[in-house]
Structure 1
Amino acid sequence: MAADLSLIEKSATDILRLLKKDEVSPLDLLDTLEARISAVDGHVNALPTLCFDRARKHAKALMKRPKEGRGLLMGIPVPIKDLTDVAGVRSTQGSPIFANHIPETSNILVENLEAKGGIIYAKSNTPEFGAGANTFNEVFGRTLNPYNTKLSAAGSSGGAAVALATGQAWLAHGSDMGGSLRNPASFCGIVGMRPSPGRVASTPGTKIDATLGIEGPMARTVADLALLLDAMSGDDHRDPRSLPAPKRGFRAALRSAWKPARVAYSPDLGITPVDPEVKEITRRAAERFAAAGVIVEEAHPDFSEVHECFGVLRAYAFAVTKAELLRTHRDQLKPEVIWNIEKGMQLTMEQLARAEAQRQTMLQRTLKFFDSYDLILTPATIVAAYPVEQRYVAECDGFTFPDYVQWLSIAYALTTVSCPALSLPCGFTKDGRPVGLQIAARPHGEDQVLIGAKMLEDILSLDTVRPIDPRG
């Protein structure tokens, strides 16, 4: 079977059904993706590194197994974000320092995905070391928003989001610290989820107990995202943070009878300005929950310490993981990364202890909040897509941010308290830019997030299954 471009308009769950019935093969899917990438990626620069020879080798080996031994994904291709190593494939982290790095071993996450039947065929573009929510770097250049190629795709999982939105992927891997799964999902009209820390096993970095930066799934629909999260979930002895897979899978959770009874909407979590149009679009979407008999009230936990707390913990993470690069390759690092490393190296023990105490206090407030509400809903990002030349959002609704990170606080507040959070497409601005609604639950509450998101996805009836061609 040659490339069949009609396949790109199908959901990942539809593709899985076709694989189970032998109506398509993993090789057919790779042929289709290669043709689609050839047609559109030159306009958006989402997947700068391709590894189709490696992918076909893995697909042929998978096809020799009986169907019941092909894993949950059964040969569905998945691109990996370029912060994560894939054995034998150029893995740059978006940095000139690693521009020619080819790792000998894969990240645990990649090994586990391949064991579940995922076929790795590409690396998706990311900003240098994932820093800054705009996907550009000195190795591969800018990734462009497919809804308007003059605009940012956000980041840091920008390449993954654009690949999904343009039909160059059915499922995609991403990662998230300050919203890096949720921001590009919001800007590109797809679904991106930050799970609870430990839900997805990955190779630990320098700080083996890190819980701010985590791996997660991206897709065009909630059901597809649940499929990939099922494939990603599970413990691994090499990652001491990792959690066992839940007894009931996430796809099964979508078929359960549970539904939220009471949800909170907050336009700003009390901590950030928000573009008025984004605020109105997300408020209208949240209020649609009432159509399913769900009580919607305006409320949020107290996150008043989050800017100081997250700023310190993020800087500490940069110092722990990147201080040696600052000493040896300073001239090859972008200024935002240098600023974050230096900030971390100047921290005192008093500042670190205060930040940890603030995090614990905010977590306790958040847990109490979820005694009253099943979910909290907010804008996923405080603005819609902005000009790609703009490195980050410096100002919003008359407020000027003190650094390149604080515009992300509506996402990083939930990171700080370890809540699973998802960005769901919920509408468009008057000039056609996608807007995402953030949906979050208490820690380990991925089931509730996915069920709530699927309910609202059905109510809103936004057609995100079919990808778009890049628009100038």
Structure 2
Amino acid sequence: MDITGLEAGDLVGMLSRKEIGAQELMRATLERIAATNGAVNAIVELRDEDTLMKEARAADNAASRGALFGLPMAVKDLANVAGLATSQGSPLFAGQVAQTDDLHVARMRAAGAIFIGKTNTPEFGLGSHTFNPVHGVTLNPYDPGRSCGGSSGGAAVALACGMLSLADGSDMMGSLRNPAGWCNVYGMRPSWSLVPSEPRADTFLHQLSTNGPMARSPRDMARLLAVMAGPDPRQPHGAAAPDLGDIRPKAKDARIGWLGDWGGAWPFEAGILDLSEEALRVFEGLGATVEPVQPPFSRDALWQSWVTLRHWAVSANLTPLLESGRLKPEAVWEVEQGQRLSALDVHKASVIRSGWFAAAARVFDHYDALALPTAQVWPFPADWTYPKEIAGQQMDSYHRWMEVVVPASLAGLPAVAVPAGFGENCLPMGIQLIGRRGDDARLLELAQAYHEATLWPTRRPPVPS
């Protein structure tokens, strides 16, 4: 039996019952990494084998066994793991070893995870294509000539290749959703503030990015989310973790609103909408109702609010590094745009965001979830920086091609990316299930029902004729 292909919940159960040992799992994991990582470059900063085996032996002898007991895990290289370098994909930080764990990492460690290394990410997590000058490019496991997405691209690829059973990631603009869709796994952006960020610098104003889980099943994502979630007394925002202990499949009588291309406002490459609608028919087969929904808000207003607030947030973070002259052009652009904003500009953008949140709440009076694709293009060539056009429509920024993820991000809504299968090009794609703020458990139940009906992460694309 290849234990690296098992779900995390099954592995924890087997470890707890001593049907396998942490040493056996660690050895199998390292062998899997040795066999597959060289072709895709998903895991970076891999720790020494002898040290990892020593920590696995200690786990086998431990009395306390938490929710992640004995699981080898690698952390996205934007977060600190004590004793490991945190490069953030930037030469400015390459080789700088973290002295302490970030908050969600400390929670995972306390739950029994064994950290084996980091997962690759774009420089400072900017852009949905995982490449950087420190660790190079991470490649799609279904076509190594193409992008795996990002910014949690290394995590998604490691899951798809069986190098990890669980992974953390972060999501400002689809970074847990796009790579999940492009790698045939699951990713979840939780309700904003459910998983607290680091209690440093400003903790009141910037409500865009969040950490979250990735896995090969929604039930496994619930396991990791339960560990990561919960308020931090040092921060003003925070939500109590929902009951995620026993996520059961539940799709019957659910109502799903299909937003498609936002009333024709967003361009898509051919085949993506058709494949998404095919995936939604699975929910209908499970007893759910799927209906098309007209755009509940202006596309232009959403985008204007989004880019203003994103410029503001990124600029606040990276302005001190601008004079280094070593930021990539997209980062420089974000910083310079943010520096031009006035307080009133930010206020106006926040007013639009507030209007969108209220409009979405009205839609959720009628639906349990809203559905959208996870991306507007198929995985593109890995040597591109980003797509410059979609279906003949020119993209006016490095991230405009990911506009489809903005509605959930802007309003801080929970969204689960589920695999939609494979297109005629044999490339994977996903759909987002977006819920009302706080409906994280309900979305996971809906996604778990879909997972049990499809088992997409265990399947490969059809062989072209």
| Shared fold, TM over 0.5 | yes
Q: Could you give the per-residue CA deviations for residues 13-62 of structure 1, whole angstroms, max 9, x where no partner exists?
A: 22122112101122221111111111111100001211245544544444
Please say if residues 167 and 467 of structure 1, whose CA atoms lie closer than 8 Å, have aligned partners that are also in contact: no
Deviation at 1:64, TM superposition (A): 3.4
* Equivalent position of 1:297 in the other structure: 291
Answering whether residue 406 of structure 2 is matched by residue 412 of structure 1, we say yes
* Equivalent position of 1:6 in the other structure: 2
* Equivalent position of 2:146 in the other structure: 151
* Equivalent position of 1:24 in the other structure: 20
* Equivalent position of 1:316 in the other structure: 312
Please say if residues 73 and 118 of structure 1, whose CA atoms lie closer than 8 Å, have aligned partners that are also in contact: yes
Please say if residues 192 and 218 of structure 1, whose CA atoms lie closer than 8 Å, have aligned partners that are also in contact: yes
Q: Could you give the per-residue CA deviations for residues 122-141 of structure 1, whole angstroms, max 9, x where no partner exists?
A: 10000000001100000011
Structure-1 separation of matches of 2:89 and 2:139 = 15
Q: Which secondary structure state, in structure 2, belongs to the residue aligned with residue 50 of structure 1?
A: coil
* Equivalent position of 1:402 in the other structure: 396
Question: Which residues of structure 2 form unaligned runs of 5+?
Answer: none
* Equivalent position of 1:130 in the other structure: 125
Q: Could you give the per-residue CA deviations for residues 128-181 of structure 1, whole angstroms, max 9, x where no partner exists?
A: 000011000000110000101000011000000000011110101100000000
Please say if residues 8 and 467 of structure 1, whose CA atoms lie closer than 8 Å, have aligned partners that are also in contact: no
Answering whether residue 57 of structure 2 is matched by residue 63 of structure 1, we say no
Structure-2 separation of matches of 1:362 and 1:320 = 24
Please say if residues 260 and 374 of structure 1, whose CA atoms lie closer than 8 Å, have aligned partners that are also in contact: no
Structure-2 separation of matches of 1:109 and 1:214 = 11
Structure-1 separation of matches of 2:337 and 2:452 = 45
* Equivalent position of 1:306 in the other structure: 302
Answering whether residue 77 of structure 2 is matched by residue 82 of structure 1, we say yes
Q: Could you give the per-residue CA deviations for residues 53-82 of structure 1, whole angstroms, max 9, x where no partner exists?
A: 55445444443332xx22111111221000
* Equivalent position of 2:330 in the other structure: 336
What is the aligned-residue identity percentage? 35
Answering whether residue 387 of structure 2 is matched by residue 393 of structure 1, we say yes
Please say if residues 176 and 216 of structure 1, whose CA atoms lie closer than 8 Å, have aligned partners that are also in contact: yes
C-alpha change, 1:258 and 1:137, in structure 2 (3 Å) is closer
The 5 Å alignment of 1:457-468 reads 457-459=451-453, 461-465=454-458
Answering whether residue 234 of structure 2 is matched by residue 234 of structure 1, we say no
Structure-2 separation of matches of 1:28 and 1:234 = 32
Structure-2 separation of matches of 1:121 and 1:467 = 27
Count how many residue pairs are aligned between Structure 1 and Structure 2: 456
Structure-1 separation of matches of 2:298 and 2:158 = 34
C-alpha change, 1:124 and 1:175, in structure 2 (3 Å) is same
Q: Which secondary structure state, in structure 1, belongs to the residue aligned with residue 180 of structure 2?
A: helix
Please say if residues 203 and 238 of structure 1, whose CA atoms lie closer than 8 Å, have aligned partners that are also in contact: no
Q: Which secondary structure state, in structure 1, belongs to the residue aligned with residue 188 of structure 2?
A: strand
Amino acid at match of 1:137: N
Amino acid at match of 1:375: A
Normalised TM-score (structure 2): 0.94
Measured on the aligned residues, the alpha-carbon RMSD in Å equals 1.8
Answering whether residue 194 of structure 2 is matched by residue 194 of structure 1, we say no
C-alpha change, 1:379 and 1:118, in structure 2 (3 Å) is same
Deviation at 1:301, TM superposition (A): 2.5
Amino acid at match of 2:248: L
Please say if residues 16 and 65 of structure 2, whose CA atoms lie closer than 8 Å, have aligned partners that are also in contact: no
Structure-1 separation of matches of 2:419 and 2:372 = 12
Structure-2 separation of matches of 1:357 and 1:320 = 20
Q: Which secondary structure state, in structure 2, belongs to the residue aligned with residue 253 of structure 1?
A: coil
Deviation at 1:412, TM superposition (A): 1.8
Which of residues 243, 247, 255 is equivalent to 1:262? 255
Amino acid at match of 1:63: D
Q: Which moved more, 1:220-229 or 1:380-389?
A: 220-229
